[in-house]
Every structure is written in C-alpha cells, then in structure tokens.
C-alpha cells in the first residue's frame, strides 16, 4: 500500500491543487493521498478565506483521501517550523511513505542539493554567509547568496516560495531521520503570487483577491466544478470570506490592553518588534495598515503579519518552544476522510506514534496536559475565526465541539 | 473661604446641572464649587457619551471652579463604593467643607435619618430585615421595607436613585468621620430616567437618547448655550458619541480569549455570573444584547453592565479590593480649573491628604506603586475609550499624556 503525503493550505482549493494531486497519484503510483493541511489560520499570518471544514471537503472531493490538521502553533509559524511540523506529522502517522510537493524547480535533485547544504552547513557555506552579512544585508538574503555561490542554482529558483518549502521539507526529513521519500511535481502556469486569473489554473492569491473584490464568478473559474457550489453557498450564507483586516478590532484591543513587555513574549515578536508595534500607537490602523506601518528592511511583511496574528491569538514564544522541544504536534487530528479510504484510519491507529483525534469530545481521555493545551488553543482560535464571519449567525462559541469530521 | 463639593458624572452636562450649581452656590453661600466627576466611563457601566475633557470644560463654563476625577475603579463601581470614593476624595482635598447633592426628597433630614440607620444598624432594623428575608425576597427589597417601617419615609423616596446616592454620601461621611457638612437641593421637573425632553430641563438619559437617535437639535434644547457649540463640534468631528454597544467587539474578544475561571475574578462578577456570560456563548450579541440575555431576577441590568465593562477593561476584584483597603483613591487628579480659582490649587496643595496630579507626566515622581497602578488603568481605559470614537482619527493611544488640564 503506497501512501503519499501532501503539505497544504488549500486556501482555497483550486484546479492547480487538483492537478497536483492527480499528477502525484500517477507519478508516485499512490494508493492513497493524505493532505496535512492548515486549520483556520495560515502560514502567511492570516485567517484562511474559507474555514477548515469547507477546505477539507473540497480536498476530499478532489482526490485527497484524508485530511490531517497542522496545529495552529505551527500552521502560522515561519516556513522552517511549519515544514518541520508537517513533516513530523507525516512521519508520525507511520503509514506515509512519500512526500510530494509542487516546485518551480521541478527537479528533486536541485532541492536535495540545497537541503543538504542547509542541513549540514559546510564551512564554506557559513563563511560566505558571514561575508555577506558583513555587507549589511539581512540573513535570508545572505543565505540565498551563499547557496547560489555554492550550488550555482539561480537565485530566483532558490527564492521561490514553493522551492523554499520543498527545501525545508527535505531538511526536516533529514533532521528527524525519516524514511519518507521525496517527490516533486513541477508547478506550471500560474505563479504563486500572481494576482490575475488568466486560465483555469490560477494562484490561490489571485482567487482570494477576486473574492475580496466580490468578483466571485471570475474567482470560481479557477476551481473544480464540485467546489463551485460549495464556495458559492458558503459565501452566500456569509460564513466567508474572512480576511486579515477582519482582525483589526481585536488586534487594537489586545495592543491597548497589553504592555510592550507582554507583547515581546509573543511568538515571532523579535528584535524589538514590540516597540514598532507601540510606535504604531494608533487605533486608526487596520490589521494590514498596521503591517504596512511596521514593515521595514528588517522585517518581511509576512513575518509581521504572523507576529500580529500571534498577538491577537495570544500565542507565546514559551508555549511554541515547549511544543518544539517536545516533538511539535502533540497529536494527529483528522479533519476528514473518504469513507472508501477508511483503511487509512485503521492502519494509522496501529502504526501512529501520536494519539489520534477523530472526535475532540474524546480528547480529554486521549491527550496529556500538553496535548490538551495545544488543542485548546485550536478551539479558541476557531472561536476567533467564527467571530470574523460576515454573518454573525455563524459566530457561536465552541463550535469545534459540535462540528464532526468531514466524511464523504 | 467656603468650598462646596458636588459628586457628578455630567454625562452630558445640561441645564439641570447648571441649575443645581447655581442654587448650591446661593444656598450654601459658597465661594467655590469643586466637582468630583467620573472620567471616561460611568457608574452605570458604560462609556460616557462625551470624553472627560469635554465634560470638564462644560462644567467649568457653567459655575464649577475645579474638576477632580473619580478613578475608573470607583467611577464604575456600585453606588456604595462610588459614593465612598467620591466622598473620601472630597475629604482628602482638605478644603471642601460642604457636599451638595440633588435629591427628590429635598430635605436633608430625611436623608440623614436613613443614613443614620444604615450606618448604625439598630437591632430593630436588623430584625425587620431578617423577617423580610425569611419571606424569600432579595436583600435590597428587605432593606428598603425595613427602612420604610422605621422611618415612615415612603418607599418611592427611599428607592429613588438620587436619594440612594445621597444616603450613601452621608453614610460614607459618618464612616470616615469627616467634618464635611451635607446639603441637598430638591430636584424638580425632569425625572432621573425620563426619556423625553419636554422643557429646557431634561434628564441626561433623555439627552443621550436623542443624541443616539441623531436628534441633535432636540438634545441641545436642554443644555446651556455655551455647551451647544462644544457638543456640536465634538459630534461633527466624530470624537463622540460613544455608547456601550461600541464595546461589543472588545467584549466578545475578551470572552473568547479568557476562561470562566479568569472571568470569575473580574470585579462585579459574582454568584456565578461568569457562567451566564459563557452561556451567552455567542458572538452575535452586542454589548447590550449580552446584558439583556444575562439579566435575571438576581442581577440588575446596571450590575451586569458594570460586570461586562469590567470584563472589557480587565478590572479585577483583587485590585479593587486592594484600593478599598488602602483608602480608595490613591491621588487627587485635577482634570481642570478656572484660572480665577487657582487659589484652590494652592490651598489644596497645602492641605491635601493625597498626592495631587495636575500633569500625569510627573506622576512617576509623585505616586507610589499602588498609585501608578491605579493611574495606568485610567490611561489604558482612555485608550479603549478613544478606540470607540466614531472618527478613527481620534483614536491614538496614550493621548492621556498629551492632553493638558482644562483651564478656562
């Protein structure tokens, strides 16, 4: 039985994702595909446009057999920790043999080469970084310059977000000495950050942008037929869309009610970022205006967005570090599966290295204190997510308990 | 030099207040009148409709010589603690010799009589309360029945909000053995809670209601000429009005991000009120809808409103108790004064029993740790208040530092 894992956000699920799944199935001859997916908040530090149950359903309808949630603490972490958490979850299932990811590079050798250097950190590599840093550039730039010099792989390949993630997956696999093999599918057509929809393959960024501008028909052009109805219904009911700026009130309140000392303990608040936040000293900023204000050469926009999201969700460095020190995710939480693939659950329950949650009502008897702490933050963040729904009838608290796994 | 103190909210300042001040000045032959006034949040557990600087200015323009702030912790406390704090501040000034308040009773003897009984608690009084309680009625009702039986003062006088406050003032004066004398002015025409404006004398409730309904001209009918321009400008700029429901987002966020255990430590959250708050389990409630939902025979609406306001402002029982145990207000904060009355500041600086704050930039050198804690909550609550302004250009943080005392 060949089982492939895909790290995903599906924010939202679109034709490109479907294409990747189909191609993965063929190229890896997989019997089953398991998506390790972000929950209601995603890695760029914002709420997902549709909630996790909706995104799970769309994935299951289009070739994914099971969806496992990446816990909030890592779904919203930097690429490095996001990747390591996802890869560790895959490894913990005990049943995934291959990881597949899209990349512009398209060649696993490229990715392997870079991951090797980053994992082993040869002297030459460290020296070039030092040299570059002394010129006054930021660490990520120094690092990619060093990589370019050693590997001769062009910078634009090294800096492509999908390739970066791929590199991180491989690095993590090496680190945890996993037996999982890597495979990559060349991403074609739509560029990751492209903001227009030119064909039925478009970036998630473009689709979100069209939804933001209420150009729903245009947005739906790039999603599978069976998702169109789901998205439309979701939007019509006012469960979605949810955007970062919907967090503005909460962010302002949290900043007012906290001290800079407290904020400095929040995950991703580093190097005095708390001072820039308090320099923003103004309520007239939306979440994104606050990010714009704080942005500087020193901090990327997504780093700031993550820091502010963590501020709203009260995610502390000490907690994140505690989880990192204890194997990242404390459980495998199944968001949904295809009934035909129920053998996956059976196999996983035999081989998994972590407790498996299929119904959070049972969490108390399955998890230890640390696991419950991780899950409670998930439940709390879902309450926050629900509070952002355009239609306030969807904003009841503790719906995480009443929402069953998605089964199709 | 005869100096009279008036406990006030001036929410907003209107002709009735002006009338009271003028009559007080005549009847007590006062040289000066000092208002002890709530800041940005008031005793019924909601934001004041205009900010404290605006309300201070209006008071100074209409016969008040100096305005001293009642700290947030007690400006938003139950009538008992609100009154005791205000009276203690008056006493601490060392210069106020008389307290004047409006009452429907209009006779200081009535109020004295009741205050005496409440303060001394004679056996007869306690016995009637016991008897009444045994019939299954709540304590406030039992107490007012007992008072009625002993004093023969009609129940409607005993239960009138202004009379209740007057009684509390006198009780507090007795308790702290103050030399301050009491004087009352009979309130006429507009009833405390009347919601319509029939003449140039109207209740603050009615004026707020008209402003809420954007019937500004009607509202202004009941305010002094020199306030009309101030209120209009304030409303036109979008600094005001501010209402309880503007706190809805913050309240929901705070409830989501806290546990019932945490909420149970909030001031005025008593007898399991936290459970009713969590039963409200829904984001689709505004602040006032939440109050309506929680309201029951056991809790009055204003008690709940205060409890929810304290939740938003994170005012903990333990802190309030610490201040109560240490003399209530930790300082005398002057919000404004008439230049012609600057002798008041001079006299007060000689005779005051508490540190006097005229510029909070100097607070660090004047206050001890407890005083700074009290003041910091004031500054934080002003940030929250500003965040509620209709025009977000008025919502900068820490404006408390940049706003000088009002001097006219």
The model's pLDDT over B45-61, given as tens digits with 9 standing for 90+, comes to: 999 999 999 999 999 99
User: E-strand spans in A167-308?
Assistant: 181-186
**Helices B139-151 + B108-120 axis angle, to 10:** 120
Mean pLDDT over each residue of chain B, to the nearest integer: 92
Q: In whole angstroms, give the CA distance from residue B344 to residue A23.
A: 84
Domains and CATH numbers, chain A: 3-104+184-242+328-407 (3.40.50), 244-320 (no CATH)
The model's pLDDT over A383-405, given as tens digits with 9 standing for 90+, comes to: 999 999 998 888 777 889 989 99
Q: In whole angstroms, give the CA distance from residue A285 to residue B200.
A: 41
Residue A191 has pLDDT above 70, yes or no: no
Q: Do A395 and B283 touch (CB under 8 A)?
A: yes
| The predicted structure's pLDDT at residue B193 | 58
The model's pLDDT over A305-325, given as tens digits with 9 standing for 90+, comes to: 999 999 999 999 999 999 999
pLDDT-wise least confident of A38-42, A172-176, B155-159? B155-159
| The predicted structure's pLDDT at residue A255 | 93
Shortest Cα distance, chain A CAs vs residue B283, angstroms: 5
Three-class SS of B166-220 = HHHHHHHHHHCCCCCEEEEEECCCCCCCCCCCCCCCCCHHHHHHHHHCCCHHHHH
Confidence of residue B297 (pLDDT cuts 50, 70, 90): confident
- CA dihedral over B164, B166, B171, B176, signed as positive or negative: positive
The region that residue B295 occupies, defined by phi over 0 for left and psi between -120 and 50 for alpha, beta otherwise, is beta
Residue B357 or residue A285, greater confidence = B357
Mean pLDDT of A23-32: 94
Q: Is B159 helix (H, G, I), strand (E, B) or coil?
A: coil
| The predicted structure's pLDDT at residue B136 | 80
Of A281, A392, A398, the CB nearest to B281: A398
CB of A278 less than 8 A from some CB of B: yes
Residue B331 has pLDDT above 90, yes or no: yes
**CB-based contact A144:A56 (threshold 8 Å):** no
Mean pLDDT over each residue of chain A, to the nearest integer: 92
The model's pLDDT over A55-72, given as tens digits with 9 standing for 90+, comes to: 999 999 999 999 999 999
Confidence of residue A283 (pLDDT cuts 50, 70, 90): low
pLDDT-wise least confident of A30-39, A198-207, A258-267? A198-207
Q: Do B284 and A393 touch (CB under 8 A)?
A: yes
Residue B73 has pLDDT above 80, yes or no: yes
Q: Do A257 and B380 touch (CB under 8 A)?
A: yes
**CB-based contact A337:A69 (threshold 8 Å):** no
**What are the beta bridge partners of residue B173?**
none
| The predicted structure's pLDDT at residue B151 | 86
CB of A283 less than 8 A from some CB of B: yes
CB neighbourhood size of A201 (10 A): 17
CB of A284 less than 8 A from some CB of B: yes
Mean pLDDT of B207-223: 94
- Residue B278's closest CA among B255, B301, B300? B255
Confidence of residue A272 (pLDDT cuts 50, 70, 90): confident
CB of B264 less than 8 A from some CB of A: no
């Amino acid at each position: 039985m060949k089982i492939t894992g895909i790290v995903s956000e599906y924010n939202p699920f679109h034709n490109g994702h479907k294409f990747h799944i189909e191609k993965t199935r063929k190229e890896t001859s997989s019997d089953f595909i398991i998506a390790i997916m972000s929950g209601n908040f995603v890695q760029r530090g914002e709420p997902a446009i549709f909630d996790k149950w909706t995104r799970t359903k769309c994935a299951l309808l289009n070739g994914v057999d099971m969806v496992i949630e990446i816990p909030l603490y890592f779904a919203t972490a930097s690429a490095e920790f996001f990747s390591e958490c996802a890869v560790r979850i895959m490894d913990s299932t005990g049943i995934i043999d291959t990881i597949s990811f899209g990349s512009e590079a398209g060649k696993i050798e490229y990715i392997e080469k870079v991951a090797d250097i980053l994992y082993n950190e040869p002297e030459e590599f460290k020296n070039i970084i030092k040299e570059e840093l002394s010129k006054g550039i930021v660490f990520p730039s120094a690092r990619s310059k060093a990589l370019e010099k050693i590997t001769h792989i062009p910078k634009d390949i090294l800096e492509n977000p999908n390739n970066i993630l791929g590199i991180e997956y491989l690095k993590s696999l090496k680190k945890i000495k996993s037996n999982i093999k890597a495979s990559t599918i060349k991403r074609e057509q739509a560029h990751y950050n492209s903001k227009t929809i030119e064909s039925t393959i478009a970036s998630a960024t473009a689709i979100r942008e069209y939804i933001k501008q209420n150009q729903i028909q245009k947005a739906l052009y790039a999603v599978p037929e069976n998702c169109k109805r789901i998205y439309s219904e979701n939007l019509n009911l006012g469960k979605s869309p949810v955007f970062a700026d919907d967090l503005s009130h909460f962010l302002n309140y949290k900043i007012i009610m906290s001290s800079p000392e407290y904020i400095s303990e929040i995950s991703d608040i580093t190097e005095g970022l708390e001072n820039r936040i308090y320099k923003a000293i103004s309520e007239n900023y939306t979440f994104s205006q606050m990010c714009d204000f704080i942005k500087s050469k020193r901090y990327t926009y997504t780093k700031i967005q993550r820091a502010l999201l963590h501020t709203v969700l009260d995610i502390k460095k000490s907690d994140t570090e505690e989880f990192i020190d204890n194997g990242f995710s404390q459980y495998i939480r199944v968001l949904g599966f295809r009934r035909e693939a129920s053998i996956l659950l059976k196999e996983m329950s035999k081989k998994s290295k972590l407790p498996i949650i299929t119904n959070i009502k049972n969490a108390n008897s399955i998890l230890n204190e640390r696991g419950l702490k991780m899950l409670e933050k998930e439940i709390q963040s879902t309450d926050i997510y629900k509070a952002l729904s355009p239609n306030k009838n969807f904003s009841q608290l503790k719906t995480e308990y009443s929402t069953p796994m998605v089964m199709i």
